[in-house]
Amino acid sequence: MSLLKGNNRVDKGKCIEIPVFWIMEGLVIVLGLLLIVIAVAIKNSELPYNSELHYIIRGFGIGIIVGAFIAWAITYLLNRYNLKEIVGGMEKVRTSFELIKESEDNGLLKIYEPYDRQICHKPPREPSVDFKNDVKEALLTEEKEIKICGLSLRLFFSAGGIFFHEMQKALERMNSEFERKDREVKLAVKILMIHPESGWTDQRQSVENKFTVVEKLRKDLYASIGWLERTISGLKNKDNIMDNIRFYDATPDFFLFITSNWIIFEIYHMGAFQLEKESDMGVQALGLGGHVPVFKFDNKSPMYNYLSAQFDYYFEKNLAGDKVLFSMDVKLEENFNRGIIAEEVKINFKSRGFSLSENACIRKERTDKWEITDEKKIYIVKKEKGVLNTYDGKRNEYHVETLKGWLESRQESITEINQE
């Protein structure tokens, strides 16, 4: 049922529309004026207490008129400037503050301002002072464990990186900790970088190539590996240190910096802000235009436990260990590259107590590494020190190899090329 016909209709449960409102406004103002007229009439009469009654009724009439004008002004502003949306926006802001408060109750310590290193930006944007100070202090003073996960981590390992000098000191402290007998818990610095030959590296690179230097991610990775090799080569316990620097093969979800007391993390993001709307030259920043904040949580928070556990899973070596099952002649590499399991390979497996069926297949994972699958059994073959070593394939598929293994395999390739 409607109160008015046509466009002035008001449906049940909805607010009165503007034309009806003006009618009500007019009636209220008329009522106020009528009260003022009555007040004047009472003042001129000979009724008892006419003076006091005159002031009361006149004040009531003036109040009604003023209230009507205030209601008119509010209604006009709501329709003229769409203040309902503003009020709704303020409600969203209030909800956001409630979310931050709940996060603080669950261990949130800080929210750092967004940081994306902008290739085309002049001058390039730097991380916030707070972020830099917290990371640098941890590298210099942490006594138990530091875990860092990222892509190339060039800010830590490449000369000129913001944390380069502090990172070197942390690795030197780790080197000296191996010699200490007075401490049961020794400083461990654990590093995870995405593997240069990972498919996820190619995926990320294919996006970044459109907006920055071609193959920049891979070049940054190789630069970081090169500087790490220079930094560690003079340390007495370099083998132990290099064993703690590993490569992972998984979608890069987070930048992680973890200490024994807190965690800093940033959600990784692919592509560029308004990717389809901007030309290559117009793109000023990778990621989401610098709109992704960095968070810091304490070590009692669910976020700390979850992301630290994720790091540990990526970091762990093969679940079945690194023990070589047996070795094969390196001459079989040619067949492996062609996807062929030669009869000699089957003989090698059988003589060591293993077997391969006719359904077994082989695929190349990356340089000097192959995977043999036979129904539910998986074997990994790696070219190492002039032989093809075979490993149990029951492994953590996200952990690829250590920095030590990477450098040894590359040195062997260089030696072979020089001999040829």
Q: What is the pLDDT of residues 52-84, one digit of tens each?
A: 776 777 777 777 777 777 777 777 666 665 655
Of 235, 404, 391, 227, which is closest to residue 321 (Cα–Cα)?
Answer: 391
* Residue where one domain finishes, among candidates 296, 315, 334: 315
Contact status, residue 362 vs residue 341, Cβ threshold 8 Å: yes
Q: How many structural domains compose the chain?
A: 3
What is the reported pLDDT for 209?
67
Same domain, 361 and 228: no
Q: Tell me whether residue 1 is in a domain.
A: no
Same domain, 298 and 250: yes
Mean pLDDT to the nearest integer, 144-167: 91
* Residue where one domain finishes, among candidates 315, 346, 373: 315
What is the reported pLDDT for 399?
77
pLDDT-derived band at 101 (thresholds 50, 70, 90) equals: confident
In the predicted model, is pLDDT for residue 39 greater than 50?
Answer: yes
For 70-74, 208-212, 308-312, 375-379, which range has the lowest pLDDT when averaged over its residues? 208-212
Q: Which residue range(s) make up the domain with 165?
A: 107-315
For 51-55, 109-113, 224-228, 332-336, which range has the lowest pLDDT when averaged over its residues? 51-55
Mean pLDDT to the nearest integer, 404-411: 77
Higher pLDDT, 104 or 118: 104
Q: Which CATH number fits the domain that encloses residue 257?
A: 3.30.870.10
Q: Which residues contact 290 (CB under 8 A, 6 or more apart)?
A: 114, 115, 116, 118, 125
Q: Which residues contact 305 (CB under 8 A, 6 or more apart)?
A: none
For 125-129, 147-151, 166-170, 353-357, which range has the lowest pLDDT when averaged over its residues? 125-129
Same domain, 387 and 260: no
pLDDT-derived band at 107 (thresholds 50, 70, 90) equals: confident
For 7-11, 225-229, 300-304, which range has the lowest pLDDT when averaged over its residues? 7-11
Q: Tell me whether residue 401 is in a domain.
A: no
What is the reported pLDDT for 284?
44
Same domain, 309 and 344: no
Beta bridge partners of 193: 150, 247
Q: Tell me whether residue 321 is in a domain.
A: no
SS3 state of residue 128: coil
pLDDT-derived band at 264 (thresholds 50, 70, 90) equals: very high
Q: Tell me whether residue 402 is in a domain.
A: no
| Highest-confidence segment of 177-191, 297-311, 353-367 | 297-311
Share of the chain above pLDDT 90, in %: 19
In the predicted model, is pLDDT for residue 197 greater than 60?
Answer: yes
In the predicted model, is pLDDT for residue 419 greater than 50?
Answer: no
Higher pLDDT, 18 or 146: 146
d(CA 69, CA 257): 60
Same domain, 163 and 300: yes
Mean pLDDT to the nearest integer, 366-385: 84
In the predicted model, is pLDDT for residue 10 greater than 50?
Answer: no
Q: Tell me whether residue 102 is in a domain.
A: no
Higher pLDDT, 264 or 29: 264
Same domain, 186 and 304: yes
In the predicted model, is pLDDT for residue 314 greater than 70?
Answer: yes
Cα 161 to Cα 35, 204, 259, distances in angstroms:
80, 21, 20
Q: Tell me whether residue 204 is in a domain.
A: yes
In the predicted model, is pLDDT for residue 285 greater than 80?
Answer: no
Mean pLDDT to the nearest integer, 314-338: 80
Same domain, 129 and 181: yes
Of 295, 369, 306, which is closest to residue 130 (Cα–Cα)?
Answer: 295
Q: Tell me whether residue 414 is in a domain.
A: no
Mean pLDDT to the nearest integer, 172-186: 79
pLDDT-derived band at 299 (thresholds 50, 70, 90) equals: very high
Helix (H), strand (E) at residue 157: helix 154-157
Same domain, 306 and 369: no
Same domain, 238 and 336: no
d(CA 365, CA 363): 6
Q: Tell me whether residue 413 is in a domain.
A: no
Same domain, 71 and 114: no
In the predicted model, is pLDDT for residue 92 greater than 50?
Answer: yes
Please report the beta strands in 215-309, taking only residues with DSSP state E, as ranges in sequence order: 245-248, 254-258, 262-267, 294-298
Give the mean pLDDT of the chain: 76
* Residue where one domain finishes, among candidates 315, 344, 363: 315
Structural tokens at position 72: 């008119």
The owner of tokens 């024994």 is 260
What is the reported pLDDT for 83?
55
What is the dihedral angle through the alpha carbons of 361, 334, 337, 383, rounded to the nearest 10 degrees? Answer: 90
Same domain, 131 and 271: yes
Same domain, 210 and 251: yes
What is the reported pLDDT for 243?
87
For residue 35, the tally of other CB atoms under 10 A from its CB is: 20
In the predicted model, is pLDDT for residue 119 greater than 60?
Answer: no
What is the reported pLDDT for 55?
72
